[in-house]
A = this chain, B = another copy of it.
Amino acid sequence: MKIDVAFLPKDIEGMNLSDTVCIVLDIFRATSSMTTALDNQCKCIMPVLSVDEAHAIADKIGPVLFAGERKSIKIEGFNFGNSPYEFSPDKVKNETIIMTTTNGTVAVKATDGAYRTLIGAFVNAAAVCRKARQYGKDILIVCAGTDRLFSLEDALCAGLLVKQLSADAEAEPLLTDSARAAVLLYDQASDKLTDIAINSRNGKRLYDLGRTDDVEYCFKTDILEVVPEYRDGKIALFNE
């Protein structure tokens, strides 16, 4: 088994992923929020790239809620921004949510054609690793990055996942250089994640917007057991 990390969605352009299980990470905050919404019994999330596309799909499929942000701020007229705390059970239970975010939805859609695309985050780290391993395929962790640039928090979570995937593997997996780098990075940072986040580009923006609670939540590890999957244009909890 090979474990690879793409620090940016554009790094996987043109790759044949038909035999690869992808795990998409956008820690601040799309995949943390998606996982939370599904844990709170949201029916499904439909990731789209633009506000226009969100409205066009809503016109077709009927009653939905809209979630999305641009530069960490809720899109005007939408029901939700991108804070995991917004996706509470009373708001999302049995609802279909159309979501467009700056980076996370782009990363999810970059894996179109993969054997499986799982949604990962610190909050469901152990669960997503367990699920990813069960297919016996190569695993590619895709970091969303920010505005096409490397994001520290995504790379740190990638390191945690590579460690967990390696530790529990039956045979020693082949780690690519980027997977090895992610592990070294995580090992150096694991006891000071929040401090490091304060100085990261995305983390600093959330602090400046007063979303310290989001930063802290998004670094909570293994608090959720659900593993959302992207399949046929929808993110949901599929039965195999």
Contact = CB atoms under 8 A, between A and B. Distances in A.
Nearest to A203: B177
Contacts of A202: 177
Majority-rule SS of A interface residues: helix
For chain A, the bracket of interface size reads 20 to 34
A54 interface: no
A152 B179 CA distance: 9
- Number of copies of this chain in the oligomer? 2
A10 B13 CA distance: 12
B189 A177 contact: no
A227 B146 CA distance: 33
Contacts of A8: 11
A65 interface: no
A110 to B, nearest CB: 15
Contact of A185 (B175, B176, B184, B199): B184
Interface of A: 7-8, 10-11, 146, 149-152, 155, 175-178, 180-181, 184-185, 187-189, 196, 199-202
26 contacts: A7-B7, A11-B150, A146-B177, A149-B176, A149-B177, A149-B178, A150-B176, A150-B178, A150-B181, A151-B177, A152-B177, A152-B181, A155-B177, A155-B181, A175-B199, A177-B200, A177-B201, A177-B202, A180-B200, A181-B181, A184-B188, A184-B189, A185-B185, A185-B188, A187-B188, A188-B188
